[in-house]
Amino acid sequence: MTHSTSPSRAAVVTGASGGIGRAVAERLAADGMAVAAHYSGNAAKADEAVAAITANGGQAIAVGGDIADETAMAALFDATTERFGGVDVVVNTAGIMPLAPIAETDLETFDRIQRVNVRGTFVVNQLAARQVRSGGAIINFSTSITRLQNPTYGAYAASKGAVEAMTLILARELRGRDITVNTVAPGPTATPLFFEGKSQQAIDHIASLNPMERLGTPADVAEVAAFLAGPARWVNGQVIYVNGGAA
């Protein structure tokens, strides 16, 4: 039994300083969850997310840390439990996406992508598997690129293929715990990370590739995360593509 001043449910959202992460944090808060908004380098953006949540009457804290560092992530979970009484939902949106053809990818860059996207997800999932309460949800993030197979995404897609495999296995390892484990795989989404280095022509072309003929929004993606975090108790061990029908 949590303390009477604690909210009924609490969520950890990694990468909450980014476009999708922040939208997820705000959406879960709108559903009445207290949120620990994690950031890696951008404390100001995480603070903005917390301010937006509290301005709307929600509860949130910002906690920094290297996603792939088990000590920093343990501190994130501890801070959440200390403040809100426990952890019910974990949404792991943190990730990086340097692009280059496989033949030209610097191996140091490859290692960095795997460290953040694969090890980072593993560290967070390990803590989540140990601490998330019954009735909870663990939500990882992949990408529709695993289906679309676009050139230059080799190292990134490899990391997300690993995330998908990890998710499906963890869902089965948590048998009997009443905890769902799923992956959300967005298509092109209108975030600063997406727009970086792209011409308007390229953006328009990418937006035209799905039958809805637009880019996804962070809110579109957050809606699916909220579904998995809340009412979707019979969706488990799945990869859900959120891309307007691109593939």
Catalytic residue among 39, 153, 156, 241: 156
pLDDT (tens digit, 9 = 90+) per residue, 190-225?
998 788 889 999 999 999 999 999 999 999 999 999
Residue burial 207-239, b: 16+ Cβ < 10 Å; e: rest: bebbeeeebbebebbbebbbbbbeebeeebebb
Predicted local confidence at residue 1, as pLDDT: 40
Residue type, 229: A
Q: Exposure string (b/e) for 51-77, b if CB count within 10 Å is 16 or more?
A: ebbeeeebbbbbbbbbbbeeebbbebb
Q: Is the pLDDT of residue 247 over 80?
A: no
Buried b (16+ CB within 10 A) or exposed e, 33-43: bbbbbbbbeee
Query: Is residue 111 pLDDT above 80, yes or no?
Result: yes
- Predicted confidence at residue 99, as pLDDT, reads 92
2, pLDDT greater than 70? no
Query: What are 131-169's pLDDT values in tens digits?
Result: 999 999 999 999 999 988 899 999 999 999 999 999 999
48-90 residue pLDDT tens = 999 999 999 999 999 999 999 999 999 999 999 999 999 999 9
pLDDT of residue 9: 97
The residue whose two tokens read 């092109």 is: 188
Opening angle at CA 85, ends 84 and 86, nearest 5? 100
Cα(13)–Cα(8) distance, integer angstroms: 17
Which helix (DSSP H) or strand (DSSP E) does residue 183 occupy?
strand 180-186
Q: Do 216 and 189 contact (CB within 8 A), yes or no?
A: yes
Here the tokens at position 65 are 């840390």
Task: For strands 89-92 and 180-186, give the pairing.
Answer: unpaired
Classify 172 as helix, strand or coil. helix
Residue 156 known to be catalytic = yes
- Give the amino acid at 179: I
How many secondary structure helices (H) and strands (E) does the chain include? 10, 7
Query: Does residue 6 have a pLDDT over 70?
Result: no
pTM for the full predicted model:
0.95
Residues in a beta bridge with 180: 137
Four-CA torsion 38, 23, 164, 10, nearest 10 degrees:
60
Given a cut of 90, whether residue 244 has pLDDT beyond it is: yes
Is 99 in a helix, a strand, or coil?
coil
131 or 246, higher pLDDT:
131
Residue 203's alpha-carbon distances to 208, 210, 225, in angstroms, are 9, 13, 25
pLDDT digits (tens, 9 = 90+) for 95-104: 999 999 999 9
Q: What integer is the mean pLDDT of 179-194?
A: 94
Domains of the chain by start residue, with CATH: 10-191+218-241 (3.40.50.720)
